[in-house]
């Protein structure tokens, strides 16, 4: 049943969107990791089923959706875990950690809900806590083009929406320190969110647009590109010399 549902979801996504997945090789083929993404619109919730070839992943979803009989039924086949957003849900947390220890992928949007402003909000520290506790890497994933305003406007016109999913390099978080854990979790989370922001259009970066960590990431990226260009130029010159 799950393969049928997945095939249907992929077909439906293709009907409503043109999805480009960049750096797909960064999605690890084995082992657990946290797939941490921004959350611009309604369509985001289904994109993991399109982007990933693995099926051993699960998605924590707000407890309000458990009230729907249809969603409760689908949750069994779509690997959904319902979690209380307003209170510490120890049962759900234990379930998440058990599944990560078994090697499954956690799909999580650290912002907690989709953006109403089409810009990133501050990420919550849960992703850092879970990744550190389970000792697994975090793959930052940037999704662009899924703003509800654009998606539903295109849907009314029977026009497919252009969507881009970009996977960043794995982030390996240090173990949580015994002291100042809250500060460490905030720093880890800001690093994850800034890596996501760096792969997004500037208009979507929101809370992280001027964050020092984002500026640091972009500076390092620019330096890397300059070095790559320099190496390519030198290689071209050497090739020209040998040909002459």
Which residues on adjacent β-strands are paired with residue 140?
36
**Could you give the CA distance from residue 145 to residue 32 in angstroms, rounded to a whole number?**
28
pLDDT the model gives residue 244: 64
Residue spans of alpha helices (H) in the chain: 2-16, 47-51, 69-78, 90-101, 126-134, 148-156, 181-198, 212-243
Contact 212, 124 (CB under 8 A): no
pLDDT the model gives residue 85: 73
Could you please report the per-residue DSSP string of 194-228?
HHHHHTS-GGG-GGGTT-HHHHHHHHHHHHHHHHH
pLDDT the model gives residue 183: 96
2-210, what's its fold?
Answer: Glycerol-3-phosphate (1)-acyltransferase (3.40.1130)
Per-residue confidence in pLDDT tens, the chain, 244 aa: 777 888 899 999 999 999 999 999 999 999 999 999 999 999 998 999 999 999 899 999 888 877 788 888 878 788 888 988 777 788 889 999 999 999 999 999 999 888 989 999 999 999 999 999 999 999 999 999 999 999 999 999 999 999 999 999 999 999 999 899 999 999 999 999 999 999 999 999 999 999 999 999 999 988 888 788 888 777 777 777 777 6
Name the pTM for this structure. 0.89
Give the side-chain half-sphere CA count within 13 A for 243: 6
Ramachandran class of 158: left when φ > 0, alpha when ψ lies in -120 to 50, beta otherwise: left
pLDDT the model gives residue 194: 98
Q: How far is CA 58 from the centre of its chain?
A: 13
Residue with the two structure tokens 């792969």: 199
pLDDT the model gives residue 138: 98
């Amino acid at each position: 049943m799950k393969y049928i549902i997945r095939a249907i979801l992929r077909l439906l996504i293709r009907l409503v969107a043109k999805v480009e997945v960049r750096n797909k090789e960064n999605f690890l083929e084995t082992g657990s990791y946290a797939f941490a993404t921004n959350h611009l619109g309604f369509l985001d919730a289904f994109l993991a089923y399109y982007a990933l070839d693995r099926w051993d992943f699960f998605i924590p979803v707000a407890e309000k959706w458990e009230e729907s009989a249809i969603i409760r039924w689908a949750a069994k086949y779509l690997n959904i875990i319902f979690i209380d957003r307003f209170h510490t849900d120890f049962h759900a947390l234990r379930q998440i950690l058990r599944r990560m220890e078994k090697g499954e992928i956690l799909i999580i949007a650290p912002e907690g809900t989709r953006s109403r402003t089409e810009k990133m909000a501050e990420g919550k520290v849960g992703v850092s806590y879970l990744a550190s506790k389970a000792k697994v890497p975090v793959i930052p994933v940037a999704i662009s083009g899924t703003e509800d305003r654009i998606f539903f406007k295109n849907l009314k016109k029977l026009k497919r929406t252009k969507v881009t999913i970009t996977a960043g390099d794995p982030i390996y978080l240090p173990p949580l320190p015994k002291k100042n854990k809250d500060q460490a979790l905030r720093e880890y989370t800001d690093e994850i969110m800034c890596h996501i922001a760096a792969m997004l259009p500037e208009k979507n970066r929101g809370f992280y647009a001027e964050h020092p960590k984002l500026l640091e990431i972009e500076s390092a990226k620019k330096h890397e590109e300059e070095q790559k260009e320099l190496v390519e130029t030198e290689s071209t010159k050497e090739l020209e010399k040998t040909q002459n």
